Chains A and B, each alone.
Chain A
């Protein structure tokens, strides 16, 4: 094996009483792509933040290129040739690509020389790595995949030899992700070292040379990617065997529960986000809506659940109209048997400052079961919350604990328990497993399929293609506010990916 680019020896880091990293040892070989996988809260981001100088380790040693290094700030890391591409881009939206690249590395007051230097440097990087971006384009006008390239260019411009990417494919279409992987492979061939943090095991298998698995703050294993399997990695991450694809029988679709006709929705700036959409949702089926984030799925969900007012269109729930362009509010829809698990559980689906039991009645707080006159029936609310905690295996099993102190997966279970236990006829779910760990994903998928088997109509919106394909009986693909295609669950990822990217499938015409 080649010489180590980075060695981490005995790294420990605690936040208050929480030990985020315990005694981590890791060696990353030069010129390889090294994956780091683990559930949320396993300590991956903390470890990389220590390497990049955001945090200081409590103890332990970092060696870069064989020499002990002291990394106290990101500037130290950059000086040592370490670059980072964050999950949420750190770009100035209304600056051009060039301006973003030189930001923080300007050398003269009028920027003339800096910009000229950056321009020739960008041309070289483009030639060598296939990182083509128009240097004069304004960042906010670029597609997400291109914005990410600007982040990579920023790191390379600063002389990065080691590139850390934190969940880089979360916002990309499959095609964009493929392109990113080609770039990473080229970087590797040029001798750069790439560290890839992700929770998508498929990507790990596709691109990395070695992979390290973290669990609860410790490094549990490092494997050569060729000699491991997705199943083994999942098991190492969770600590037990996991079903990656839930089993389900044939759907027995019944009557139309929700009929959407010509629905149009605009966002707060007046931009049309949902453009004349029509579809039916039947009892006993799961319909999945696939699409790259930002193509109107969020607005569609908000409109159907009554949170956002639609501009035009008609929606029938159980054969009776609901006035989504006017008076309908989420309370009324709930009363009529439409439950909604929102995409953003932190700000919409839950009040994080509330105790768990208070969140378990959110939206159903006017149900007489939970009230005594104008007063809350605290005993009934807590008993009810304890029942749900037991039934949905929510941990820790403490209905008085502040909701912010639950993990992402358990928070999602709190929302799901609340919505599913109301026995709704229609359940609409946004991003059912975003930020949820592998073990909980399995549980949530099983629950959704159980709902379907009880004859409920389930609408799932997700940016995770795997999830859509594994859950759905029918798949609708959204692009630029429209439904551009309907497919069955056996459709290949490639075909769905093309639809998601807005490429109409016209057979030979392509």
Chain B
């Protein structure tokens, strides 16, 4: 019996199960809210309203989502090749350096639509090169990519601190950050799109990198499922032995996949740096790389899932901030607990309810769970 459980129809697999997991996560989170003496239903209303209730909320949610789409895609591309890139955090952070160089050099001479492409190139290049070293060590020396990418997160952080309190800091400034960029390195906002639907926005950082994120999601889909390179990456990811058999070079595929992953991580830096703060400050990534791991897992490594999961995490960030503001008993740490529960139920315990749902489907309609296909005559 190689398949003890029959398969489910796609809508249940990709729709119903995540929704149930999410629901359970929120129920458990509700108990936590109850424990600190607040009303969980009111908390849920504040969270959702904070994220989607007003135009500003929506814009913030999508701004955070933009960041998570990039880091989620970065983790997913590596994961399809069987590599666990924990270094998204550091690759994004160090990519800020590439953006800083481009912006500081050109913001006074070029308009944004020329600075932006240059910054894209710089951020992807730096991110990819930062991933290249661990990739090379994995491919050639067998050094485990998880260990090396974690190390490279620390190295990136140290380098950035050194640069931001030293060479990149304007003379006389107390803040560990670059000077503020001029108009030539400020990306246009997208708030007008939300305003088209009649919502009001005060000021929110949603900007054109959101569109870039959506384009990259499509391109990642194209890469993974429609190109020869993606085919080779998936082959290696599922079975390195099969890849060897198929004549796929291990060195080449590891290095290529990690560099693409690093490039996507690097693009993440565009969003906060050029779209919001207009400078490169210490710790501007602030954990988005690690959230990307959760986003990628929850999105089942599929770009569509990743976009949806990124919006969910954007909602938790934005709605969580509102919640912490409205209910003082619920601190910022409580929000992290709720996020943790979502990751727990949607990621780690993803298959917990699967057998029950399958049994339910099987009792209603055997055909819908592919019984005929599985039982196919043995030759």
Which residues of A are interface residues toward B (Cβ below 8 A)? Answer: 15-18, 20, 39-41, 45-46, 305-307, 329-332, 334, 340, 342, 344, 347-354, 358, 362-363, 365-366, 371, 374-376, 378, 393, 395-396, 398, 401-402, 404-407, 409-410, 413, 436-437, 439-440, 443
Contact = CB atoms under 8 A, between A and B. Distances in A.
Contacts of A349: 242, 245
Contact of A348 (B231, B242, B248): B242
Interface stretch (B121-129, B306-314, B331-339, B366-374): B366-374
A374 B231 contact: no
Contacts of B234: 351, 354
B228 to A, nearest CB: 6
Contacts of A342: 245
Contact of A396 (B1, B226, B373): B373
Contacts of B238: 351-354
Query: Which has the most chain A C-beta neighbours within 10 Å: B229, B242, B371, B378?
Result: B378
Contacts of A45: 1
Interface residues of B, number: 41
B242 A405 contact: no
B232 interface: yes
Nearest to B367: A17
A16 B378 contact: no
A365 B231 contact: yes
Given A351-B238, A363-B247, A410 B376 contact: yes
A404 B3 contact: yes
B203 interface: no
Given A410-B379, A437-B379, A440-B379, A18 B246 contact: no
Given A15-B1, A16-B4, A375-B228, A347 B376 contact: no
30 contacts: A15-B3, A15-B6, A16-B4, A16-B362, A17-B362, A17-B369, A18-B6, A18-B374, A40-B378, A41-B1, A41-B378, A307-B245, A329-B247, A330-B245, A330-B247, A331-B247, A342-B245, A347-B242, A348-B245, A353-B238, A365-B232, A374-B228, A374-B229, A395-B377, A395-B379, A405-B3, A405-B376, A406-B376, A407-B376, A409-B379
B5 interface: yes
Contact of B226 (A306, A347, A378): A378
Contacts of B226: 375-376, 378
B228 A366 contact: yes
Contact of B359 (A16, A344, A409, A437): A16
Nearest to A13: B1
Interface centre among B7, B238, B372, B374 (most CB of A within 10 A): B374
B6 A407 contact: no
Contacts of A401: 373
A20 B374 CA distance: 12
Contacts of A16: 3-6, 358-359, 362, 369
Contacts of B248: 331
A196 B379 CA distance: 25
Nearest to B362: A17
Contacts of B239: 347-348, 351
Given A365-B232, A437-B379, A405 B245 contact: no
Given A17-B6, A18-B6, A351-B238, A440 B247 contact: no
Interface in B210-240: 222, 226-229, 231-232, 234-235, 238-239
Contact of B3 (A18, A347, A351): A18
B241 interface: yes
A227 to B, nearest CB: 27
A362 B371 contact: no
A437 B376 CA distance: 13
Closest 4 CB pairs of A and B: A331-B247, A440-B379, A396-B376, A409-B379
A406 B247 CA distance: 25
B95 to A, nearest CB: 25
Contacts, number: 135
B1 to A, nearest CB: 5
B219 to A, nearest CB: 12
Given A365-B232, A395-B377, 14 more contacts: A17-B366, A18-B374, A18-B375, A41-B1, A351-B238, A354-B238, A362-B245, A396-B373, A398-B373, A404-B2, A404-B3, A405-B7, A407-B378, A443-B379
A443 B377 CA distance: 15
Interface of B: 1-7, 222, 226-229, 231-232, 234-235, 238-239, 241-242, 244-249, 358-359, 362, 366, 369-379
Query: For A334, A375, A395, A443, which residue has the most chain B Cβ atoms within 10 angstroms?
Result: A375
A39 to B, nearest CB: 6
A393 B377 CA distance: 11
A41 B4 CA distance: 12
B129 to A, nearest CB: 23
A459 to B, nearest CB: 16
Contacts of B222: 375
Nearest to A353: B238
Nearest to B355: A16
| Residue in B226, B239, B370 whose Cβ sees the most chain A Cβ within 10 Å | B239
Contacts of B366: 17
A334 B246 CA distance: 9
A362 B232 CA distance: 9
Given A18-B3, A378-B226, A393-B379, A348 B247 contact: no
A395 B362 contact: no
A39 B373 contact: no
Given A353-B238, A358-B231, A407-B376, A330 B6 contact: no
B87 to A, nearest CB: 26
Given A16-B362, A376-B231, A409-B379, A331 B3 contact: no
A17 B5 CA distance: 8
A15 B379 contact: no
Given A16-B359, A353-B238, A376-B226, A307 B244 contact: yes
Contacts of A347: 239, 241-242
A331 B246 CA distance: 6
B227 A376 contact: yes
A15 to B, nearest CB: 5
B2 A350 contact: no
B369 A407 contact: no
Contacts of A396: 372-373, 376
Contacts of B374: 17-18, 405
Nearest to B4: A15
Contact of A439 (B6, B235, B245, B379): B379
A404 B239 CA distance: 14
A46 B1 contact: yes
A362 B228 CA distance: 11
Contacts of B229: 374
Contacts of B379: 393, 395, 407, 409-410, 413, 436-437, 439-440, 443
B80 to A, nearest CB: 11
A340 B5 contact: no
B235 A15 contact: no
A40 B377 CA distance: 11
Contact of B378 (A39, A305, A351, A352): A39
A362 B235 contact: yes
A255 B7 CA distance: 51
A37 B122 CA distance: 66
